[in-house]
């Protein structure tokens, strides 16, 4: 069965520091991968999605970037974090519009 791993679960980082959140998927190949951000009590904001290795679509211009170095690995990065980058980040994978599952999420606090 398919599983999705996202880490870390919680992260506190100072302003100006770099960020790297990793998401890996097991049990499937060539999934569509997504990064979402969720402000407290709000809906999901799509940040990036990828339909294949090296292919990244950015939904919102911002301080973040994403990369997909391997088929089942999706990384969210920032060179210098801003206070406004705080939030709950969710990775998701989707298979052919019939399956879509999420990682456990990362709660990022920028201080």
Partner 1 sequence: AQKITQTQPGMFVQEKEAVTLDCTYDTSDPSYGLFWYKQPSSGEMIFLIYQGSYDQQNATEGRYSLNFQKARKSANLVISASQLGDSAMYFCAMSNFGNEKLTFGTGTRLTIIP
User: Which residues contact partner 1 (rule: CB under 8 A)?
Assistant: 32, 34, 36, 38, 41, 43-44, 46, 49, 51, 57, 88, 90, 92, 94, 96-102, 104-105, 107
Backbone angles phi, psi at 84, to 5 degrees: -70, -5
Rounded Cα distance between 108 and 30, Å, is: 28
**Beta partners for 70?**
73
CB of 71 to partner 1, least distance (A): 18
The number of CA neighbours under 13 Å toward the Cβ of 88 is 11
DSSP code of residue 84: G
CB of 79 to partner 1, least distance (A): 26
CB of 18 to partner 1, least distance (A): 23
For partner 1, the closer CB: 57 or 70: 57
CB of 41 to partner 1, least distance (A): 8
For partner 1, the closer CB: 38 or 67: 38
Cα distances (angstroms) measured from residue 100 to each of 14, 66, 68, 86: 33, 19, 18, 25
């Amino acid at each position: 069965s398919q599983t999705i791993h996202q880490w870390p679960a919680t992260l506190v980082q100072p302003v100006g520091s770099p960020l790297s959140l990793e998401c890996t998927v097991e049990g499937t190949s060539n999934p569509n991968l997504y990064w979402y951000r969720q402000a407290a009590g709000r809906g999901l904001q799509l940040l990036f999605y990828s339909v294949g290795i090296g292919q990244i679509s950015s939904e919102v211009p911002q301080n973040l970037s994403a990369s997909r170095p391997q088929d089942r690995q999706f990384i969210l990065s920032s060179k210098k974090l801003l206070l406004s980058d705080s939030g709950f980040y969710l990775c998701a994978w989707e298979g052919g519009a019939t399956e879509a599952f999420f990682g456990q999420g990362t709660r990022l606090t920028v201080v």
